[in-house]
Amino acid sequence: MKLSNVLVTAVLAAFPVAGICFSGTETRAYGEISVKHTPEKYDSLLSKWYESTVIESYDRFLQEFINIDPEETVPSEAERIPDSVYEARLRMIASVIQLPYNDVVRQYILAYTGRLKGRMQNILGLAQYYFPLIEEELDKEGLPSELKMLPIIESALYPKAVSRAGAAGLWQFMLRTGKNFGLEVNSFVDERMDPLLSTRAACQYLKQLYAIYEDWTLVIAAYNCGPGNVNKALKRVPDARTYWDIYDYLPRETRGYIPGFIAATYAYTFHKAHGMEPVVPPHPISTDTVTVRKLMHFEQISSTLGIPVEVLRDLNPQFKRDIIPGTDKAYSLVLPQQDISAFIDREAEIYGKDSLYLKEYLNPANFTARKSSGSGNRLTASRTYKVKKNDVLGSIARRYGVTVNALMRANNIRNPRSLRIGQVLRIP
């Protein structure tokens, strides 16, 4: 869960989604995107969008969103709001978690409602999709609903967030921690990126931490930097009862974590008072799930139902290679609600396309053995790739289940936009 030295592709940059329209034969509506569906063209254009406007360093997010520089948060005279207003608004929020107002919190509120307003508006848009899911799980476990704000400062509500230290998903689980809470991680699936399953795991972890500290500010701090760091800080201040008592003895990122949590809660609750409106997320908000009990590739669904592969990836980030490995267990597949009936009606047709997209995986015994041994990275048909027209590194990386950074390192690429048609890339 540690935030330092983190690199993630995060949906943080504002983008006029509603204006996108693609040419083709079949018109479908996904969120506010009007798609005349040509799958390969949609995939290429959307990948370019991710490359040019969305892929960002989480180090930068950490620096701007968590390690706030007070000198950069000074509002203009026209934007000044009395401290008493902020303080009164925080008191209006019904919360079992302490939400005090002080100079540190003030700097974060000024940043989130000022120069980082664009980023917050993107997060507000993603919250429309993820918060109902998170709130339901928190409610089932009897946990405060305010804890839904944690993924904002862990991952910017981006389920594919991956840290250099190996933490992944909305809740930034490390591999061992995720497996300890029952999350499957192998060559084809990473349930740390499954919004629902990772939220359930996070709820169990938060309950364990509360049993130790019995104070939510300490729980949130421990979730970020680990119980060991919190315990060391508590030893330095024997009479400490809350996060603020040990503030000076915590890691730098964690010193910004609770103020960030409070400011995110404030900005979410009072966003309209600051002229903020949610940016429409890049995938449908209205979804439902079906159960898949066989091996299936996203292209089988896309080519049959006309759902862009990028939409399937966004709704099912846990499947690392566009493959649902349903050979020995069932998996849940999230689809736009408007396509659920069509999937059920044409399920046999979808499964019947397995030989088109899964030739190298169709021996169940070999597939299961490779899946469990973690050798899925050797299952691709080729270890090199020749760049075609409209290719971008993001789409190539997703095709082979590797990261953009890994591709760049393997091919000594410094500028991700410098690909040439015909260039041969080595797949790490």
Q: How far are the Cα atoms of 7, 53, 387, 393, 414 from residue 418, in angstroms, in the given order?
A: 21, 16, 11, 10, 8
Q: What are phi and psi of 192, to 5 degrees?
A: -65, -25
**Coil, strand or helix: which one is 303?**
helix
Neighbours of 359 (CB within 10 A): 9
Cα gap 256→104, rounded to integer Å: 8
Tokens of 86: 């902020």
Give me the catalytic one of 146, 154, 191, 253. Answer: 154
Token representation of residue 353: 């396309």
Whether the CB-CB separation of 6 and 271 falls below 8 Å is answered with no
Q: Where are the beta strands (DSSP E) in 277-329?
A: 287-292, 295-297, 323-325
Dihedral of the alpha carbons of 148, 46, 391, 414, in degrees to the nearest 10 = -50
> Which DSSP symbol is given to 428?
-
| Terminal alpha carbon distance of the chain | 27
Query: Residue 248: which of 264, 232, 268, 260 has the closest Cα?
Result: 232
Q: What three-state secondary structure class fits 30?
A: strand
Spatial CB neighbours of 113, under 8 Å, sequence gap ≥ 6 = 120, 266, 267, 271, 274, 276
Give the position of tokens 């020995």.
328
Q: Is 154 a catalytic residue?
A: yes
Q: How many C-beta atoms surround the C-beta of residue 191 within 10 A?
A: 24
CB half-sphere exposure, 207, CA atoms < 13 A: 14
> How many C-beta neighbours within 10 Å does residue 154 have?
25
371: enclosing H helix or E strand:
helix 364-373
- Rounded-to-integer distance, Cα 216 and Cα 428, Å: 43
Residues serving a catalytic function are 154
